[in-house]
Amino acid sequence: MKMSTLSSKHAKKKENTYFLQSCSKVVLLLCLAAFLRYLVMSSKYQTIIANHFEISTPICSWKRVQEGLFLLSRNIDPYDGDLLHETPTALIFYKIMSQNVFRDVSLMFIFFDIGTALLLYAATRHYAKQFHQEHRDRTKYPKDVHEYLPSEGYYEKVPLYVLVAFLFNPYTFLGCVGYSTAGIHNFFLALFVFGMVYGSPIVSSLALAICSSVSFYPLILLSPLYIYYSQVYKSKTKALLVVLYFLTYVYLITFYNNSLSKSFKFINNVYGSIWTVPDLQPNIGLFWYFFTEVFDHFRELFIHSFQINATILYLVPLSIKFSNRPFILTIALLFLITIFKSYPCLSDLGFVLSFLPNFLHLYAFCQQGVIVGVILFMTSCLAPTLWHLWIYSASANANFYFGVTLAYAIAQIFLVTDILFAQTKWEFTLKHGREAKIDGEDADLSLE
């Protein structure tokens, strides 16, 4: 009994020591990331980065927010034209943050980036611990798959990897330096994931309602939210209460938006512009080139087709397939939003890439990692080069640039399909072992 007590104290002391070491690493990484961001923001390169359309789209441009705030200060309705695509609540939020809380705008963007990193770290730490505990009993799995199970230090290392993947990801870094409001939107997406993983229905539903009020794409995340709480409560009826919380928050936010705007004109500027894509300024998405070329009488058909593809087309099959893995379903849906939304930016991709360390146990089953990495690297380098050749040197045309954006989207599609199929193979291997046989012959799981 005494030996057991000593062992327990030793384990607790070891855990506390590691926790302190982990906290010191987190603080060091956060300070370094904040310093690097502020250093570049204070340089002449900030304006160059902020003016790049890969960073600032019509939906996430800080310059447009500033113009909207100026019009608001002159008692001019910022929604009279086609300038502003932020909701009235978001506009007031930015006004308070930039004029009352943060006198230096760069500090505001750094604050939300650091906040996003901390939320992702905390959410991943909790999820990785649950994931490790789920597979701690190795005796229930075939012996030849033990090497694929998470190691003892899995839940301790993964959160730090996620933190580094977000803070020093060039996509999130450039988005923060370029004052892209997508970084602030990502803060609330991270808050949604954090609230969901920790089982807080109020936090997760409120964060999702805020995200959905800015853009309708996050509405599809209601599916993993419902699935997660139906597992937590072991009751689909109780999980519906979380959906009711979400709908209540959406109603309150819409009511507040309407009271601020004194009309529903903002709906067309915010949601209408996202759905109908009136601004065909080139970006890293798939919409602009197609709708520049398409005949006007086909435009409505293809607009609805594209938007259905970006929202509900994959929702039902993925929700059925990963009904027991709501966290993975969430990441998959975030990837699909990033790929197929009408006005994507680099911050969107940087945010979802930060979740990849959660899938380190799937590395042995992935096949497209090198290809995806090379394509993303090449397209990231070629995009500004071909833009310069097209716009400034006039030695290229829109086809050159769209070819890069197409390859950029294909790389993301390869990545998400590789992860989802690797998850399927991993679950199959844990159940049947590495040497699965059908009719006495070796079976091979392949994607048809």
pLDDT of residue 153: 77
With CA atoms as reference, report the closest residue to 186 among 150, 203, 210, 219.
210
pLDDT of residue 395: 84
Rounded Cα–Cα distance for residues 310 and 333 (Å): 9
pLDDT at residue 5 is higher than 60: no
- Tell me: the pLDDT tens digits for 370-411? 999 999 999 999 998 998 889 888 888 889 999 999 999 999
Percent of the chain at pLDDT > 90 equals 64
Residue 308 lies in a domain: yes
- Tell me: the pLDDT tens digits for 54-65? 899 999 999 999
pLDDT of residue 35: 96
- Could you tell me the two tokens for 421? 């199929």
CB atoms within 10 A of CB 14: 10
Residue 175 lies in a domain: yes
Lowest mean pLDDT among 29-43, 327-341, 434-448: 434-448
pLDDT of residue 6: 46
Residue 447 lies in a domain: no
Cross-strand bridge partners of residue 180: 61
CB atoms within 10 A of CB 218: 22
pLDDT at residue 436 is higher than 50: yes
The total domain count for the chain is 1
- Tell me: the pLDDT tens digits for 195-222? 999 999 999 999 999 999 999 999 999 9
- Tell me: the pLDDT tens digits for 71-89? 988 988 888 888 889 999 9
More confident residue, 13 or 373: 373
CA angle 184, 163, 62 (to 5 degrees): 20
pLDDT of residue 261: 81
What sign for the dihedral angle of Cα 272, 278, 280, 286? positive
Question: Is the separation of the CB atoms in 331 and 196 below 8 Å?
Answer: no
pLDDT at residue 8 is higher than 50: yes
Please give the residue range of the domain that contains residue 87. Answer: 2-442
**Span 318-341, average pLDDT:** 95
SS (H, E, C) the chain: CHHHHHHHHHHHHHHHHHHHHHHHHHHHHHHHHHHHHHHHHCCCHHHHHHCCCCCCCCCCEHHHHHHHHHHHHCCCCCCCCCCCCCCHHHHHHHHHHHHHHCCCHHHHHHHHHHHHHHHHHHHHHHHHHHHHHHCCCHHHCCHHHHHHCCCCCHHHHHHHHHHHHHHCCHHHHHHHHCCECHHHHHHHHHHHHHHHHCCCHHHHHHHHHHHHHHCCHHHHHHHHHHHHHHHHCCCHHHHHHHHHHHHHHHHHHHHHHHHHHCCCHHHHHHHHHHHHCCCCCCCCCCHHHHHHHCCHHHHHHHHHHHHHHHCCCCHHHHHHHCCCCHHHHHHHHHHHHHHHCCCCCHHHHHHHHCCHHHHHHHHHHCCCHHHHHHHHHHHHHHHHHHHHHHHHCCCCCHHHHHHHHHHHHHHHHHHHHHHHHHHHHHHHHHHHCCCCEECCEECCCCCC
**Span 241-269, average pLDDT:** 90
pLDDT of residue 343: 94
- Could you tell me the two tokens for 412? 């993301």
Cross-strand bridge partners of residue 442: 437
- Tell me: the pLDDT tens digits for 182-202? 999 999 999 999 999 999 999
The Cα diameter of the chain in Å comes to 82
Residue 448 lies in a domain: no
**Span 255-269, average pLDDT:** 86
- Tell me: the pLDDT tens digits for 135-152? 877 777 887 787 778 877
Rounded to the nearest 10°, the torsion over CA 294, 372, 114, 33 is: -120
Percent of the chain at pLDDT > 70 equals 92
Residue 38 lies in a domain: yes
Looking at this protein, which amino acid is placed at residue 306? Answer: F
pLDDT of residue 46: 93
- Could you tell me the two tokens for 346? 């680099």
Rounded Cα–Cα distance for residues 134 and 236 (Å): 23
Residue 215 lies in a domain: yes
Cross-strand bridge partners of residue 61: 180
More confident residue, 434 or 223: 223
Given pLDDT bands bounded at 50, 70 and 90, which one contains residue 131? confident
CB atoms within 10 A of CB 135: 16
- Tell me: the pLDDT tens digits for 98-125? 988 898 999 999 999 999 999 999 999 9
pTM over 0.85: yes
Residues 6+ apart with CB under 8 A from 383: 54, 284, 401, 404, 405, 408
Looking at this protein, which amino acid is placed at residue 186? Answer: N
